[in-house]
Structure 1
Amino acid sequence: MDLDDARKLWQPEPGWLNTATYGLPAEPTWAALQEALGQWRAGRNAVETWNATTDRSRAAFARLVDVPAGDVAVGSAVSQLLAPVAAALPAGATVVVPEVEFTSNLFPWLVQAERGVEVRTVPLEGLVDAIDERTDLVAFSLVQSADGRIAPYDEIVAAARAHGALVSVDATQACGWLPFDGSRADAVVVGAYKWLAAPRGAAFGYLAPRLRERMRPDAAGWFAGRDPYDSYYGPPLRLADDARRFDISPAWFCYVGAAAALELLAEIGVPAIRDHDVALANRFLTGLGRPPGESAIVTVDVPGAQEKLERAGVRAAVRAGRVRASFHVYTSEEDVDLALNALTG
């Protein structure tokens, strides 16, 4: 689908520069949710249809990050998907994490301290050099939530492989605008309510086969069964043979929306979205006299910025005392200029 045509499927109010907090639904997502809510309200039997959207979402996510759909588990949050990965670490393991890391990709490792798991935090720019023979796993956000910095994915993977370490990537702030090969990592987890523009409550985790062999599906329920519809009652344990054994029962309406959202992004193509998003981010930076970058998320330190943007009706975020602006497929040049006029006027 042509990006210009696709952009007509969104109808945001002017001034939304906050996708790094949450993404906005396109018309197909909104319509799918309204239909499902109508079915729920009327008591129409649509459960199997709603469940089917989970596998549609799984397939679309796999397509977006270049992994097999059978290696993708579905859940509700990044930390929930990472929990069995953290629990599978051997006692006394060492995990290396950037020092300014979103806590959903930090707390799951820290809570393993009672088993002797050590978490070493280092500056992002020093992450590659910090990976050594003592490292069991390196965990990092592909794009940092706080400031939009892009981690050196290839270099981190190469360093980890050289020392036999596992690689776990939180791609929540990347997936949907930044192309990358998820299969190079051992785990890739994504909360879908930001750049994937799905409802909050849908999350995806690529779990490589060699990692799954170490993991135990402690949260297994009926949806993790080999045949979920034959897994309602009684033993024996009969879990799926692939990553679905780590599924949790899906929040139906989240996945109804996610299927439509992810399929649309896959149809548009992430490279085209990246070019659009980064061009707008650089228009914003250039307008403030800053050098251009490569990220769809930027932070700026402008006196009184929050108040100036609020008066102009621009919605952005403040992180670590700096304004964080983020740009996505539905952002326009007019949105950028509205923000620039507010900050420089």
Structure 2
Amino acid sequence: MDLDEARKLWHPEPGWLNTASYGLPAEPTWTALQEALAQWRVGRNAIELWNESAERSRAAFARLVGVPAGDVAIGSTVSQLLAPVAAALPPGARVVVPEVEFISNLFPWLAQAERGVEVRTVPLEKLVDAIDDGTDLVAFSLVQSADGRIAPYDEIVAAARAHGALVSVDATQGCGWLPFDARRADAVVVGAYKWLTAPRGVALGYLAPGLRDRMRPDAAGWFAGGDPNGSYYGPPLRLADDARRFDISPAWFCYVGAAPALELVAEIGVPAIRDHDVALANRFLDGLGRPPGESAIVTVDVPGAEEKLERAGVRAAVRAGRVRASFHVYSSEEDVDLALNALAG
């Protein structure tokens, strides 16, 4: 689908520059949710349709990041999907993480301290050099939540492979606008309510087969069964033989909205979205006399910026003491100019 045509499916109020906090639903997502709520309200049996949305979401995510659908697990949060990865680390393992890393990609590793797992934090720009023969896993965000910096994905993976370390990536702030090859990592997890514009409560994760062999599905329920509809009662343990064994039962309405959202992003194409988003981010930077960048998320330190933007009806965020603006498919040049005029005032 052409990007200009797709943009007509969103209806934001002017001044929404905060997709890094949460994305806005396109018409297909909004409509699917209303239909599901109407079905629920009157007791129309639509469970199979709702469950099908989870499978559609899995397939669309796999297509977006270039992996087989069988290597994708579904859940509700990034930390929940990372928990069995962290639990699979051997006692005394060493993990390297950027020092300003979002908590969902930090607490799961720190929670293993009682088993002797050691977490070392370093500046993002020093992450590659910090990976050595004593490193068991390197965990990082593809795009940093605090300031929009893009991690040197290929360099980090190469360093990890050179030292026999696993690679775990939180792609929440990148997936949907930044193309990347998930197959290069061992785990790639995404909260889908930001750049994938799904409802909050949807998370998806690529789990490489070699990593899955080390992991134990401690949260396994009926949806992790090889045949979920045949896994309602009684032993024996009969789990799926792929990443689905790490599924949790899908939050129905979240996935009802997620399926059309992910399918629309895949149909538009991530490269086209990147070009649009980054062009708007650079228009914003240029208006402030700053050099261009490569990210859809930018942070600026302008005196009184938060108050000026708020008075003008521009919704952005404040992270680490700086204003964070984020630009997505439904953002426009008018949104950018509205923000620039507010900051100039």
TM-score range with shorter-chain normalisation? over 0.9
Match of 2:262 in 1: 262
Question: For residues 282-302 of structure 1, what are the alpha-carbon distances to aligned partners after superposition, in whole Å with 9 as ceiling and x for unaligned?
Answer: 000000000000000000000
Question: For residues 265-285 of structure 1, what are the alpha-carbon distances to aligned partners after superposition, in whole Å with 9 as ceiling and x for unaligned?
Answer: 000000000000000000000
SS at match of 1:13: coil
How much has 1:70 moved relative to structure 2? 0.2
SS at match of 1:20: coil
SS at match of 1:264: helix
Match of 2:230 in 1: 230
Amino acid at match of 1:115: R
Match of 2:33 in 1: 33
Amino acid at match of 1:253: F
How much has 1:312 moved relative to structure 2? 0.2
How much has 1:127 moved relative to structure 2? 0.2
Question: For residues 284-330 of structure 1, what are the alpha-carbon distances to aligned partners after superposition, in whole Å with 9 as ceiling and x for unaligned?
Answer: 00000000000000000000000000000000000011000000000
Match of 1:315 in 2: 315
How much has 1:157 moved relative to structure 2? 0.2
- Taking the aligned partners of 2:264 and 2:42, their CA distance within structure 1 comes to 28
Question: For residues 31-65 of structure 1, what are the alpha-carbon distances to aligned partners after superposition, in whole Å with 9 as ceiling and x for unaligned?
Answer: 00000000000100000100000000000000000
- Taking the aligned partners of 1:65 and 1:186, their CA distance within structure 2 comes to 13
Give the CA RMSD over aligned residues: 0.3
Question: What does 1:75-114 correspond to in 2, within 5 Å?
Answer: 75-114=75-114
Match of 1:14 in 2: 14
Q: List gaps (5 residues or longer) in structure 2.
A: none
Match of 1:142 in 2: 142
- Taking the aligned partners of 1:144 and 1:321, their CA distance within structure 2 comes to 15
Question: For residues 227-255 of structure 1, what are the alpha-carbon distances to aligned partners after superposition, in whole Å with 9 as ceiling and x for unaligned?
Answer: 00000000000000000000000000000
- Taking the aligned partners of 1:16 and 1:290, their CA distance within structure 2 comes to 21
Question: What does 1:105-254 correspond to in 2, within 5 Å?
Answer: 105-254=105-254
Amino acid at match of 1:24: L
Amino acid at match of 1:298: V
Q: Give the fraction of aligned pairs with identical amino acids, expressed as a percent.
A: 89
- Taking the aligned partners of 2:126 and 2:162, their CA distance within structure 1 comes to 16
> What TM-score does the superposition give when structure 1 sets the normalisation length?
1.00
Q: Which runs of 4+ in 1 moved over 4 A?
A: none
Match of 2:333 in 1: 333
- Taking the aligned partners of 1:208 and 1:275, their CA distance within structure 2 comes to 29
How much has 1:341 moved relative to structure 2? 0.2
- Taking the aligned partners of 2:36 and 2:328, their CA distance within structure 1 comes to 26
Question: For residues 91-140 of structure 1, what are the alpha-carbon distances to aligned partners after superposition, in whole Å with 9 as ceiling and x for unaligned?
Answer: 00000000000000000000100000000000000000000000000000
> What TM-score does the superposition give when structure 2 sets the normalisation length?
1.00
- Taking the aligned partners of 1:314 and 1:123, their CA distance within structure 2 comes to 31
Amino acid at match of 2:253: F
Question: What does 1:269-288 correspond to in 2, within 5 Å?
Answer: 269-288=269-288
SS at match of 2:336: helix
SS at match of 1:51: helix
SS at match of 1:74: strand
Match of 2:289 in 1: 289
- Taking the aligned partners of 1:311 and 1:100, their CA distance within structure 2 comes to 30
- Taking the aligned partners of 1:320 and 1:227, their CA distance within structure 2 comes to 46
- Taking the aligned partners of 1:153 and 1:321, their CA distance within structure 2 comes to 26
Amino acid at match of 1:118: E
Question: For residues 167-194 of structure 1, what are the alpha-carbon distances to aligned partners after superposition, in whole Å with 9 as ceiling and x for unaligned?
Answer: 0000000000000000000000000000
- Taking the aligned partners of 2:38 and 2:309, their CA distance within structure 1 comes to 37
Q: List gaps (5 residues or longer) in structure 1.
A: none
- Taking the aligned partners of 2:206 and 2:188, their CA distance within structure 1 comes to 5
How much has 1:226 moved relative to structure 2? 0.2
- Taking the aligned partners of 2:320 and 2:112, their CA distance within structure 1 comes to 27
SS at match of 1:299: strand
